[in-house]
Amino acid sequence: MKGNVNFDESETIKNLARAFAGEVQDGARYQFLAQMAMQEGYNYFQSMCKTLAKNEMAHAKTLYQLITNNCTKSIKNIEICAGYPFKCGSILQEIKNSIENEQSEADSVYIEFAKIAEDEGFSEVGKVFREIASVENCHKMLLQQVYDKMKSNKLYKCTKETKWKCSNCGFEHTSKQAWSICPLCSMPQGYVEISIDTGA
Ligand SMILES: [Fe+2]
Ligand SMILES: [Fe+2]
């Protein structure tokens, strides 16, 4: 990859390493959150967290490969100075922490990394940072909806008639409130799919 500076000594390679470390941690955090969701009976939310974890690990892999495919020699060690959040709390607090983390990646960190990559002439890397930022923004919006519903105790309640679906057996029913036990497979309410407005 040709840029205005040597890739191996660029700020971009460091930012890729910073972002890689961050994405791996995000993947771990979503796996921790999935475990917490499972323990608290939010089975469907657990599967959402696992999908988020998978997305973050895919981002990590893309970033890792941008380093390994473009450095001119094998790099023993990339030294970085970076800070990462270490917060904990209730499941609601954890979701809030994740929202804040996604927001900072989407609105500032990756946009800044993209600009630096573009300044250094690595437009391909800049594009990847912008694409990841846009996914993190979707993660943020998804989690914000779950957070708002969970906080107001409306995960499975709605003011209008809503179609609820059991993620275990596929049973569907339209009403203002989801069942507490699925009439078809007897799984608890935590298996009911959380309806997310994708804005599509
Ligand atoms: Fe990510
Ligand atoms: Fe994310």
pLDDT in tens, 149-179: 999 999 999 999 999 999 999 999 999 999 9
Instruction: Say whether pTM exceeds 0.85.
Output: yes
Q: How far is the CA of 55 from the centre of ligand 1 (A)?
A: 6
Three-state DSSP string of the chain: CCCCCCHHHCHHHHHHHHHHHHHHHHHHHHHHHHHHHHHCCCHHHHHHHHHHHHHHHHHHHHHHHHHHHHCCCCCCCCCCCCCCCCCCCCHHHHHHHHHHHHHHHHHHHHHHHHHHHHHCCCHHHHHHHHHHHHHHHHHHHHHHHHHHHHHCCCCCEEEEEEEEEECCCCCEEEEEECCCECCCCCCEHHHECCCCCCCC
What's the chain's average pLDDT?
A: 96
Ion ligand 2 — residues with CB under 5 Å? 102, 136, 139
At residue 199, the pLDDT reads 74
Give the pLDDT score at 192.
Answer: 98
- Residue 1's pLDDT is 82
- Please tell me the distance between residue 104's alpha carbon and the centre of ligand 1 in angstroms: 11
Residue 67: which CATH number?
A: 1.20.1260.10
Domain encompassing residue 165: 157-191
Same domain, 94 and 31: yes
The yes-or-no verdict on residue 140 having pLDDT over 80 is yes
Distance 141 CA to ligand 1 centre (A): 14
Same domain for 132 and 183, yes or no, is no
